[in-house]
Structures are given as C-alpha cells and as structure tokens.
A and B are shown apart, each in its own frame.
Chain A
Amino acid sequence: MTLPEQLMRSQPATDLLAPVTCTASFDPPQIGPGEKSIYRITFNAPEISIRRPEPIPAPSPLNLHWRASGQNLQIIGNVAQTFSTFNYEAVPTLPGSFTLPEFNVEVYGKPVTVPAATLVVKSQRTEPAELARQLVVEPAANRVFVGEPLNVSVRLQATPAHGVEGVSQLQLNGDGFVTDKSAARQSIQTLKKNGVPLPAFVYETRITPITAGTIKLSAQGYTAGMQFSGPVVISGQVSLSSGPPQYLLLDSEPVTIEVLPLPTGNELPGFNGAIGHFSCDPPLLATNRLAVGDPVQLTVIFRGSPNLDRLHPPLPPRTPEWQIFPATPGGSVAAAGTNPPGALFHYTLIPLSYAPRATPAIPFSCFDPALGCYLDLTIPPVPVTLPAANAGSDVDTAQLLAEDVPGSSQSPGWSRLAATPGPRSALLGPLQFHPWFWFVQGLPVLGFIGLGMWERRRRRWEQHPEWRRRREARRALRRARRVLERAADDADFLRGAVSALQIACAPHYSATPGALVCGDILQLLPAAEREGEPGETVRRIFAAADSAAFAANKGTRSNILAEKVRLKKILANLEERL
C-alpha cells in the first residue's frame, strides 16, 4: 500500500448516508427591541445539496435577512460529517415572543423539516443583556487607491459567556479585491472594549483593491475553540479554556472602503503597477569591463513598502546595442540601519556592439499613495568599458586610424595602394549565372550531334551505294533538264538530251552515264513504249546525235527540237524510276 493510500485510509470516513437532520435557533434567544439576533439553521449535509431557504416564513413584524452561509467538517465519533449553516439576521423593534413555525427545506431533493424556533424580545430584562456574537472587520484605511495594499484585521472579542477562542475557515466576503493569504497572521491580544480589557482573537491579512469604486467588505468564520489553523501569537495574560470546540458560523457587519482610481495623464515611464513607497539603491554591475557578446549581471535592490514580495521589476528597454533579459528575483534583503528591507533583482545584459559606454537606463516608476503622485525610480546607467583592442565601431576605427595609415608603404600589416587597376574578369559574376554560358555549352553538343549524323549517313551510303548513285543521278538529271530548257539550237538540245537520257538510266546499270548507248536506254523503257512513240523519239535523238558527231554532212537540219515535249515526258518517266 502506497503512502498516499495509507494517508487516505487513515482519515475518518465521511458519512454521507446518515439521515439529514436540521437544527434552528436564535442566538441570543432573548434580546431587547432594536437589538440583533442571529437565526442560525444547521443541516448535516453539504451546502451544495441544500436549497437555501429564502424567504424564511417569519411571523410579522419579524423580518429575517440572509447574512452568511458556510460548511465545515466535524468529526463525530469515528466518522466525519459535513455541516452547513445559514445565518439570518433579525432586528425586531417591537417586544414580543416570535415563534418561527416548522417549515420544509429541500435537501438532496427531498423535504427536510426545520424545527420551530422562538425569539423573545423584551423591552425590560432582569438578566444582563447578551449580544449576538459576531466578527468585527477593521480595515487600516477606508480610502485607498486601486492596487494599494490594505491591511485588514478581523476580530472576535471574548464575551463573559464565551472565553476567547479561535476562528477557523475565516474568509473575507466582497467584490473588487484580492486577498493575500500569504500575509495572514493570527494572534490573541488583550483589547479594551468600553474601557474594559478583554482578550480577542485577531486575524490580520492584506487585500488589494482591483477596481475603483466602493467595496463592501465583510468576514465570516467558524468558532474553533482552542483549535488554531496555523501559528498564533499570544500577548498579555489570556486564559484559554479547554474542551471540544463549538462550531458556530459567525459573520461581521460589512464595512465600506472607497477605492480611488490612479491619477492618469502624469504617469512616469516604466510604471507597471507598483504602488507604495519605494526607493532604488544604486545598481551594481558584476564588472565594468565588458566584451561584445559576453553576458554581465546587473543587480538592483528596491526598498520600501511591506508588499515588496508583490513588486514586479521593470521590463528592460529594447536597444540595438544591448540584449537584456528580463529581471529574475534574487531574494529579499534585510533591513540595515535606516534602510528598510528590500527586494533584489538580477538583470542579464549582453553588449551587442562596441559603441555603448554605459548600460541603458531602465525606466521604472511607482505610485506613492501617501504623496498621491508618481515617483521616478529609473535604474540609472552604469558606465562600462569595452577594450579598444576589440573595438570595431567607427569611433574606435577612427582612433585606430590615427595610429597608422593603411595603403602607405610604412604601415605594416596593410597592403600598399594599387598603382594600376590590375586585372579584371571580363565577367563579374559567376559564368554559370549568365544565360549565354549555357548556350555556349550547347554548341559542342550540337557539333557532336552533327558529327554523329554525318557519320551515320556515311555508313549508310557505304552499305547501299546504289542509294547514293540514284541520289546523284536525280541531282544531275535536274541540272540536265535545266540545260535542256535553255537549249536554243539543235546542237545544244542534242547534247543535253543525250546526256539527260544517259544520266537517268546510268544507276540502273551501275555504269558511267557516258558509257550508255541508245539500246541501253531503250531496254529500260516498257515494251509498249519501246516500240511506240517514246522509243522512236529516243532513237531519233541518238541518231541525230550520231549524225551530228560522225556524219560527213553536219549541216543537215533534222528539226530535232520538235521532240522536246516528248523527251520531257520520257525523262519524267525515267526520273520516277530512280
């Protein structure tokens, strides 16, 4: 079993199954006209399960007003039970006996009967008057500024019937303030009431108003006998009674506190809500000799008001020459001589350049409620030194320049002034950034592709020489036909015609065109054409050519130009076969 389980099991069980019962009574049960009595209803059930009885069916002219409610845990036997109490105030002005009849209150959704209770109001009493017990709230001031800490004491005076006893579960009721529970103290003191010294339980705490306006502050708590929730300081002669505590829910009359807003328009720089009377000791720097980039700690001590623990150090300013980290709390500083206690904060500063000669001032201010004005608490600059050897600022550069003159032949460590402009690159940026660089890279690629294609064609022709012959024959035939077109006389026509016919037929014989004769040409013509008009035309052309070349009478006119049209048709047919 783990320790938490052991602790849980060692606690008494909470009894939630017991039947709900209720008690009701007036405290005190007998008062005079105009005096106050508290009508107190108590259930043995959690408060959340009870629908608060409102209004109370009180007999006229008795009026009951709700004051406070609360719940506490009481150990009965070996079980713990939750008791909830509702306090109502009754201030009858007429004498009489007032009995509140029984009425039902819904608990856990079921009706629970509240027993009848009687209040006797007597105009003349024989026995000593007993007043209703209640707490007394006493603020240190009734007029404060927003954010100004205010001490509040809650007192429970001992009465002749009840000795001094502690108050548990004490809480302050009201809106518009926060309670500083860490500042709570409790004590038993002897206070004079109507000139008679009486012991009293005093609970002191501190509240901070957070809104301007009026605060209605009241307190409530349970009487706890001699059981104190925390240390208690007892001063004077006080007799403490023993015995089990009687848990009674007590409350106080509300007190009014006027909360003033802070004056606006004349706030000082660095005001972050600090309210009180503070002072700032001279800041301490860990070292005044700094280097760029090296952190240094600045220690600041603020002294003054008791609420130092709630003091927030000012945020450092932003400056291009420093990197400043927000302050970290460094603990408290004890009072020394006339100096009040203080709070210590550490700032970490890093110089970012060589220019600064002092730490930056850190603006800070507070509002002094006593003076009603803002006080300047700016953390002053602290002189620093950045070694000149590391200086890189223009100021330091200027100082260094006085030592030597770069560019002159006498200054060691520096180059001489260039006497000529020196070399330059034709291209100022990387070549790869210029588009033409990649274009130039493409030129060799194109060259190699061209070479490859040329080689490929060459190999193809080597494998198929007839392709080349036919291709060349086609080219030559085109040229011969152009010559034929230009032929003006028979001799030119005959030379061109024979040459064209030989060129068109030569690839079919793998022969030189000039070696072909008329019979070779006719062999390539279809049989019908060979015996027909085309064959006759070819024969006539070759015969005329032979006659022109070998006949004795060369001047004979053969009118061969008339065959031009038919020759064109023959050449066209032969070209198609190439």
Chain B
Amino acid sequence: MTLAIKKLLTLVALLMGTPALGTAGADLFRDGVESYEAGRYESAAHSFQASLDKHVFAGTLLNLGLAEWQQGHTGEAIAAWEQSAWLNPFDPGARINLSQARERAGLDPLELTRCERTSTWLPPGLWAGMATLSLWLAVAMVTLPEFFRRRKAGWHQTLSALALGLFLLSLAPNIGVLTRANTGILTEKNTSLRRTPTPSAEVVATLAAGESCRRLRERGDYWLVHTRRGNGWIERQQAQLLRLE
C-alpha cells in the first residue's frame, strides 16, 4: 500500500469523525506529554488516561502505552498500543512499540486469522462504511435507471460490478473486525487460567501480563478465553479487550 493511498485512507478515516479534542482534553494531553518528558511517568499516565476518558485518540493511546511501559506495566502498555493500532493502523509507532515490547518481554504477538489480518489494514469503521456504501451503490446502479426510466448505460453496469466486487472483498475484513473485537490483552501479572469460573477453581496455567487472549464466552465476572496455553477462565478485570467501548 503506497503512502499516498495510506494518506488518503487516513483522511477518510478522519472525515468519518474527528471531533474536537476540547480544551480540557487538550490540556490533559499536553500535561501528559510534559510529565512524560520530565520523567514523571505515573503522572503522565494519569493525564493521558484522563484525556482518554473524555475522547479516545490514537496518539493519546500511544503515549499512554509509553508511560505505562516506563512504569513496568507491560500488560497495560501492550493493551494501549494494540488499541492505538486498532484505531489508526496507518501509524507505525504503535506497531514498532508492540514489536519491541513483545520481543523484550518474550511474548508472542496476537494469533490472527487470515480475515483478522486483513482487517488490520484499515480502521474497523472504514471497513464497515466501505461495505455499506459499496453494497448500496451496486444495488442503486442496478435499480435506479429502471426506476427513473433511464436507459442502462455501460458505466452503470461497470460501477455496479466494481461496487459489488468491493463489497465482496470487504466481507472478510468485516468478519475479521468482528472476531478481532473479542481479542484482548492480559493486564494483570501472573493471571491464573482456571478450569471453572470460580475463585477456588483449579489453576490450569499462569499467564504473564501482556499475553494475548481471545474471549470465547462470558459468565458473571469471568471470561472463558483461548490462550496459547489452552482454554480457561479468567476474571474480567484481568484483561482488556482491543475494541474500545
């Protein structure tokens, strides 16, 4: 993907919705940057988190990950960078940090299916918008000339075929977005993977902070997750999903 296309897609993503940061959010972001540069990483993390509570921005998440990493919070840092990459896949910063952090922590990257890997090329919203527009464009190009008693022109059919192709191509990434939304990062150190969703259940394995998991089911305060060490139950607050809610 060329840089020009990436810039164009970023612009589209921006046009899809870039609300104003707001004075308070901007101030918090600036405070965070200043604290980070002064070496006050805990304060920086608090400022970035407070800014995120108002509006979620990819850059704020990137900085939050750096501040968390500086405090030794491997899980929180990796989760923040994954979320930043989820929001803005064109920014290489989050990917560089993820690669570096995982290499140093001896962690494996997320296990993604082919659909999910494709879905990382664009922001999730863009895939959904692309599918919607292309589908209805294809339908419109087929039906509207007839409705308006116009003769079907060649460009009608070409546009319809192109839109239909785009729609079919965007189906797999959209499925990938939906399944990737259930992946998460363990934020708690030595997370116990339990056999049943109870506090006294047998511990199947112990997972390090920053390891990835995939949520399969939910029961009460527990998630049934799939990890590299097998399936098991973890407490809800021990992991953070990639999708921002």
Contacts and interface: CB of A to CB of B under 8 A. Distances in A.
Interface in A379-417: 390-394, 397-398, 400-401, 405-407, 413-417
Contacts of A422: 57-60, 62, 88, 91
A394 B72 contact: yes
B168 interface: no
B176 to A, nearest CB: 10
Nearest to B129: A431
A372 interface: no
A414 B192 CA distance: 30
Contacts of B208: 353-354, 392-393
Interface string A310-349: 0000000010110100000000000000000000000000
A569 B189 CA distance: 92
B51 to A, nearest CB: 7
A320 B59 contact: no
Interface string A419-436: 111111111111111000
A425 B106 contact: no
Contact of B19 (A323, A390, A419, A426): A426
Contacts of A391: 104-106
B72 A427 contact: no
A392 B105 contact: yes
A444 interface: yes
B51 A421 contact: yes
Contacts of B63: 407, 417-418
A320 B181 contact: no
A210 to B, nearest CB: 31
B128 A431 contact: yes
Given A423-B18, A423-B88, A424-B56, A392 B69 contact: no
Interface string B95-108: 01100100011110
Given A353-B190, A392-B105, A430 B100 contact: no
Nearest to A420: B59
Interface string B60-76: 10110010011011100
B197 interface: no
A576 interface: no
A452 to B, nearest CB: 7
A445 to B, nearest CB: 9
A425 B136 contact: no
A418 B93 contact: yes
B124 interface: yes
A431 B60 contact: no
B189 A393 contact: yes
Interface stretch (B9-17, B155-163, B216-224, B230-238): B9-17
A539 to B, nearest CB: 48
Contacts of A428: 56, 87, 243-245
Contacts of B25: 421
A29 to B, nearest CB: 71
Secondary structure dominating the interface of A: loop
Contacts of B245: 428-429
A455 interface: yes
Contacts of A420: 59
Contacts of A455: 146-147
Given A425-B123, A452-B147, A437 B128 contact: yes
Contact of A394 (B26, B74, B144): B74
B206 A353 contact: yes
Contact of B33 (A321, A406, A419, A423): A419
B109 interface: no
A421 B29 contact: yes
A451 interface: yes
Chain B, interface residues (CB within 8 Å), range: 35 or more
Interface residues of A, number: 51
B143 interface: yes
A352 interface: yes
B210 A415 contact: no
Contact of A425 (B13, B66, B178): B13
B165 to A, nearest CB: 19
B124 A415 contact: no
A461 interface: no
A292 interface: yes
B96 A426 contact: no
Most chain B CB neighbours (cut-off 10 Å) among A354, A420, A425, A454: A425
Contact of B124 (A323, A353, A430, A452): A430
B177 interface: yes
Nearest to A451: B147
B97 A406 contact: yes
Interface in A286-306: 292
Given A425-B16, A431-B124, A320 B147 contact: no
B53 interface: no
B96 A414 contact: yes
B66 A392 contact: no
B62 A413 contact: no
A565 interface: no
A467 interface: no
Nearest to B94: A415
A425 B57 CA distance: 8
B205 interface: yes
Contacts of B13: 423, 425
A414 B97 contact: yes
Interface of B: 10, 13-14, 16-19, 21, 25-26, 29, 33, 36-37, 51, 55-60, 62-63, 66, 69-70, 72-74, 87-88, 91-94, 96-97, 100, 104-107, 123-125, 128-129, 132, 136, 139-140, 143-144, 146-147, 174, 177-178, 181, 189-190, 192, 203, 205-206, 208-210, 243-245
Q: Ordered nearest first, which 4 A-B pairs have the shortest CB separation?
A: A426-B17, A422-B59, A415-B93, A392-B105
14 contacts: A318-B203, A355-B190, A392-B208, A401-B69, A406-B97, A417-B33, A418-B63, A424-B17, A425-B13, A426-B18, A429-B124, A444-B136, A444-B139, A448-B143
Given A392-B107, A417-B37, A418-B63, 8 more contacts: A353-B190, A424-B56, A424-B58, A428-B56, A428-B244, A432-B177, A451-B144, A454-B147
